[in-house]
Amino acid sequence: MQPVVELRGINKSFGPVHVLRDVNFSAYPGEVTALVGDNGAGKSTLVKCIGGIHPADSGEYLFEGRPVQVHSPRDAAALGVEIVYQDLALCDNLDIVENMFLGREHTRGLVLDEASMEQLAADTLASLSVRTVRSIRQKVSSLSGGQRQTVAIAKAVLWNSKVVVLDEPTAALGVAQTAQVLELVRRLADSGLAVVLISHNMNDVFAVADRIAALYLGRMAAQVPAAAVTHSQVVELITSGASS
């Protein structure tokens, strides 16, 4: 199977700090790839390289097998790579539809095409089997943590994206909402997207991941199928960069 996104030999330094060293990473369609690692291992930097926020110093970025140049978030979005950050980047004072189309509104002549945006937002939420939201014209400030996460994820898949990166989507959620978000993550991948999940929670990782990529001090310690490792082996990879 061909990866949708493949990074080869990525290096990234901030001044004297060498954050990523010859990192290889692949994300496959229809699969959840969990990206795990201790604080400071380079997870966020790797994600920012994927999303074009920090272009890599050296290395190759392949999208569907073709080498591409990704220098800005716009380049990444144009390829179909969307990133949902931990803070979700939603505007509390806007409703769900306005948030989903923020900065990329549909227009008809000089006015906003509210009807088409509303329809597309509703279709997207329905395609994700989201039933918890009462009205899509609700202000985001009135939503629960899990619902916000859902809206942020729906916003990412609205744009025919091929890769969705989720940074700690279950952090700060209650048990019931965590379960719903995990099921949503799984559905995204089952619908054909390549999903990258950053998480510190091993249960979340094993509940949905097909592959686990472990970073250790800026190097990729291993990228292995979830069916081939145990919990303790992954913890070893995270804490020592190798497993027995």
Partner 1 sequence: MRAGPSQDEIRRYNLGALLRHVHILGPTSRAQLTTLMGLNRSTIGALTADLAAAGLIREEQPRSHRGAGRPSLVVSPASDLVYVLAFSVRVDRVVAARVGLGGVVLDRRELIHPRGALAAAEVLETLGGFATEMRRTLPGTAICAGAGAAVSGLVRADDGLVSLGPNLGWHDEPFGERLTGLLGEPVAVGNDADLSALAEHTRGVASACSDVLYLHGDVGIGCGIISGGRLLRGHEGFAGEAGHMVVNPAGKPCSCGSAGCWETEIGEQALLAAAGRPPDAGRAGISALIDAASRGDTEAQGSLRAAGDWLGFGVANLVNLLNPQMVVFGGTLRDVYLASAAQVRGRLNRMSLRASRDPLKLRTPALGEDLPLLGAAELAFTRLLADPLASGV
- Residues that bind partner 1 in the complex, under the rule CB under 8 A: 129, 174-176, 178-179, 182-183, 186-187, 190, 202-208, 225-232
Residue 41: its H or E element: none
| Closer to partner 1 by Cβ: residue 40 or 225 | 225
Sign of the four-CA dihedral 175, 227, 3, 51 = positive
Between 111 and 175, whose beta carbon lies closer to partner 1? 175
Q: Where are the alpha helices (DSSP H) in 35-93?
A: 43-50, 73-79
Minimum distance from residue 217 beta carbon to partner 1 (Å): 23
For residues 74 and 134, which CB has a smaller minimum distance to partner 1 in the complex?
134
Q: Which is nearer to partner 1, 81 or 181 (CB)?
A: 181
Establish how many alpha carbons lie within 13 A of residue 182's alpha carbon, considering only the half-sphere containing its beta carbon: 20
User: Shortest gap between Cβ of 173 and partner 1 (angstroms)?
Assistant: 10
| CB nearer partner 1, residue 179 or residue 217 | 179
For the bound state, the minimum distance from the C-beta of residue 201 to partner 1, rounded and expressed in Å, comes to: 9
Handedness of CA 136, 128, 36, 43 (dihedral sign): negative
Residue 36, token pair as written in the block: 């795990």
- Contact status, residue 173 vs residue 145, Cβ threshold 8 Å: yes
Indicate the residue among 94 and 202 with the shorter CB distance to partner 1.
202
Q: Is the separation of the CB atoms in 60 and 9 below 8 Å?
A: yes
Inter-CA distances, 42 with 19, 28, 82, 101, Å: 6, 21, 19, 31
Q: Where are the alpha helices (DSSP H) in the chain?
A: 43-50, 73-79, 96-100, 114-127, 145-157, 175-190, 202-208, 231-240
Q: How far is the CB of 183 from partner 1 (least distance, A)?
A: 6
State in angstroms the smallest separation of the CB of 7 from partner 1. 25
Q: How far is the CB of 4 from partner 1 (least distance, A)?
A: 20
